[in-house]
Structure 1
Amino acid sequence: MTEKKLKIRQQAFALTLCTVVFMTVYNAATWYASSLDQLPSFTFDFEKFIPFLPLSIIPYMASGFFFCMVFFSCRDKYQLKILTWRMLFVIITAGIIFITTPLQFSFTKPEVSNDVLNLPFLFLKIFDSPFNQSPSLHIAFAFIFWSVFRDLTKWRIFLMISLILVGISTLTTYQHHVIDILTGAIVAHISFLIIPYRKNKFEYRNFQFANYYFVSGWILISAGLLTDHYLGSEGFIFFLPAIATFMIGYYYQNNIKILSPFVFTVKQNIRQFRKN
């Protein structure tokens, strides 16, 4: 057995494992939600202005392709193991939330006149459900996919744009509400914190710091929107610190030393003072 075949078998096994767990958890949660008499839904007031865009079904459905592709994009066994554990964590965590706090989608989906685009919508109507909303697994998966795709040299920009479109499509296909996107992002970044990648290597340590800031940013945005929803416009005071934490997380993730020019100048002055 060659090393290449062994690696492909491991990737195929990881994909099969995550697929089986996903189908089991998702269908079990759907069965439970459908057995309930009444299910609540949660929307923000501004969501009524989100347009329904039939074309966005293309990136939405492409998430299934990325689900398969990501396992075969791993560079080594360790990265495959981390990916698998993160996927399983997100699926199981989402399944627990689906059952304990079930929500359903509440908007009426317009009819799609285009016969070609209508086919995937019919597929969703038959095999998907209006339940299992928060957290959005499309969003959580997109973040986890990117944790692997960002290391690729080819198609990196294309994949990044595609995953952004996947995130947008969850809203414009009328499959998810905004609260689902926020909770999906939080669950994904919690998985990065609980299951870190090469935590003992210095060059990856900044990624761990970045994820603390990203989780804080998503929580602050959620707190701001929820406060605004229930109490009024005062909730927007959370947005400025949220933006600040996202910026700090971005700097850490890209190994940018935020205070390096200032620190360098101070060190130069100290050295000059000592010389004098």
Structure 2
Amino acid sequence: MLWMLLLGAMFIHGYSWTNQWAASQPHAYSLHGRWDDAIPFWAWTIWPYLALNLLYPLTFFIFPTRSALRRHALAIALVQAACMLAFVCWPTGNVRAVPQPAGASGLLFAQLRAFEAPFNMAPSLHAAVGVLVWQAWRRWLQADPAPLRWLWHGACGLILVSTVTTWQHDLLDVLAGLVVGALALWITRAARLR
């Protein structure tokens, strides 16, 4: 519980501050390419996009040992610190105007925009944290039937796809986030934690 609260506070305050800081800068960069223009906006994918916000805190309660939990917490801290440092050193912004859909999906987009300005795109913190959450639950589901494991992989794939179909990130943002997440896993596997 303590790890979840500390790292959750780090995310909320750090992400909010870096968003405000990026908004105050005279210029924001973008990794938006022509290939991103071919990606459709699918309003319904806000549901899997926000599902990560539910899975993230639950992940802290599935580890069988303290060392495994500490390794996960360190990976989350590394990912958040690396992404936030990148947000400050190289502020990025969304060059597309995200449509305002109607209905329940529209309400979720409105809630998202209340917290998140259209900055902090690269590297995608959503994708980086997604890698860590995917890995944590993948290990936890190892003993379960194969269909359940494949369902988990599919759900995580949909979360990853949703980062671009909600126009919250561009493809290169997501790729950079995946690299950050993979590096955090590699570093924490090499760390000797008790």
TM-score by length of 2: 0.91
Aligned residues, how many?
187
TM-score by length of 1: 0.65
Q: Distance in 2 between matches of 1:82 and 1:132?
A: 26
Higher relative contact order structure (alpha carbons within 8 Å, sequence separation ≥ 6): 2
2:123 counterpart SS class: coil
Structural mapping, 1:1-276, within 5 Å: 12-113=1-102, 115-151=103-139, 152=141, 153-154=143-144, 155-196=148-189
Shift of 1:55: 0.8
Q: Quickly say closer, same or farther: Cα 1:121–1:178, change in 2 above 3 A.
A: same
Q: Distance in 2 between matches of 1:166 and 1:197?
A: 28
1:195 counterpart SS class: helix
Shift of 1:37: 2.1
| Unaligned 5+ runs, structure 2 | none
| Unaligned 5+ runs, structure 1 | 1-11, 200-276
Please, what is the CA RMSD of the aligned residues? Answer: 1.5
Shift of 1:158: 2.6
Q: Distance in 2 between matches of 1:68 and 1:167?
A: 18
How much identity, in percent, do the aligned residues show?
26
2:189 counterpart SS class: coil
Q: Distance in 2 between matches of 1:101 and 1:190?
A: 20
Paired AA for residue 46 in structure 1: W
Shift of 1:87: 0.1
Larger Rg: 1
